[in-house]
Amino acid sequence: MNAPEKTLKAWAKPTLSSHRVGVMNKFGAVRQQFHQTEVDGVEIEPLLEQFGSPLFILSEKTLRNNVRRLRRAFATRWPKVRHGWSYKTNYLNAVCSILHQEGSWAEVVSEFEYQKARALGVPGSRIIFNGPWKPTAILEQALQEGAQIHIDHLDEIYALEQVAQKLNKKVAVGIRLNFDTGYTDSWSRFGFNLESGAAMDAVQRIASSQWLTLTGLHSHIGTFILDVRAYAAQARIMAEFMDKVESSTACRIEYLDIGGGFASRNALQGLYLPPDQLVPSFDQYAEAITGALLEATRTRSAAGKPLPTLIMETGRAVVDDAEFLITRVVGGKRLPDGRRAAILDAGVNLLFTGFWYNHEVKPLRQLDGTHEETVLYGPLCMNIDVLRSSVMLPPLNVGDALLISSVGAYNNTQWMQFIQYRPAVVMITQEGNVEVVRVAEQLAAINDFERLPDALRLPFPQGLPE
Site residues for another protein per CB under 8 A: 65, 68-69, 72, 75-80, 123, 125, 146, 254, 283, 287, 290, 294
Main-chain phi, psi angles of 314, to 5 degrees: -65, 125
Q: Which is nearer to another protein, 290 or 429 (CB)?
A: 290
Q: Is 438 left (phi over 0), alpha (psi -120 to 50) or beta?
A: beta
The one-letter code for the residue type at 267 is A
Minimum CB separation of residue 80 from another protein in Å reads 6
Minimum CB separation of residue 18 from another protein in Å reads 38
Minimum CB separation of residue 4 from another protein in Å reads 47
Minimum CB separation of residue 238 from another protein in Å reads 19
Q: Which is nearer to another protein, 61 or 438 (CB)?
A: 61
Bridge partners of residue 401, in order along the sequence: 328
Residue 251 · residue 213 · CB < 8 Å? yes
Minimum CB separation of residue 283 from another protein in Å reads 7
Find the Cα–Cα–Cα–Cα dihedral 55, 56, 61, 63, rounded to 10°. 180
Minimum CB separation of residue 411 from another protein in Å reads 26
Q: Which is nearer to another protein, 125 or 417 (CB)?
A: 125
Beta strands per DSSP E along 305-411: 309-312, 323-334, 340-344, 361-363, 372-377, 386-393, 401-405
Residue 199 · residue 251 · CB < 8 Å? no
How far is the C-alpha of 313 from the C-alpha of 90, rounded, in Å?
13
Q: Which is nearer to another protein, 274 or 331 (CB)?
A: 274
Please spell the DSSP secondary structure of 216-230, one letter per residue: EEEE---SSB--HHH
Q: Which is nearer to another protein, 78 or 187 (CB)?
A: 78
Residue 87 · residue 113 · CB < 8 Å? yes
Q: Which is nearer to another protein, 69 or 205 (CB)?
A: 69
